[in-house]
Amino acid sequence: MTQPFIDCVLMLRAQGVVTEDVASISCDVVERTVHRLWAPLALKQKPPTAYGAKFITPYCIAVAMIDGDAGLEQLTEAQIADPRIRALAGKIG
């Protein structure tokens, strides 16, 4: 449910779009994913733990856009505290 959004930002990144160019990212999703991956949005934009981050779509999108990947290396306490990732995740909804 998250991978298509990651793929989209990786394509944008490959085309030269940088995070400074992003004002917001709007994701259309089906209702059944909202409760698991999107709500409450404020929490999903700032994951409290590295483990929880892998289930949080805004974080995964942001880290993929910044790092060019959303694998296990991006699921660390340092990564979830990165202000650049948090700022971009805050623009995703």
- Is the separation of the CB atoms in 46 and 89 below 8 Å? yes
Question: What's residue 41's pLDDT?
Answer: 73
According to DSSP, the residues that pair with 92 across neighbouring strands are 25
- The C-alpha atoms of residue 91 and residue 34 are separated, in whole angstroms, by 17
Q: pLDDT tens-digit profile of 7-64?
A: 999 999 999 999 998 999 988 877 767 666 666 777 778 888 988 888 888 999 999 9
- The C-alpha atoms of residue 10 and residue 1 are separated, in whole angstroms, by 16
Q: Any idea where the domains of the chain sit in the sequence?
A: 3-89
Residue 86 in this model has a pLDDT that exceeds 70: yes
Question: What's residue 29's pLDDT?
Answer: 77
Cα dihedral across residues 30, 36, 42, 46: positive or negative: negative
Please enumerate in sequence order all residues whose Cβ is within 8 A of that of 77, keeping only pairs 6 or more positions apart, or say none.
49, 50
Question: What's residue 36's pLDDT?
Answer: 64
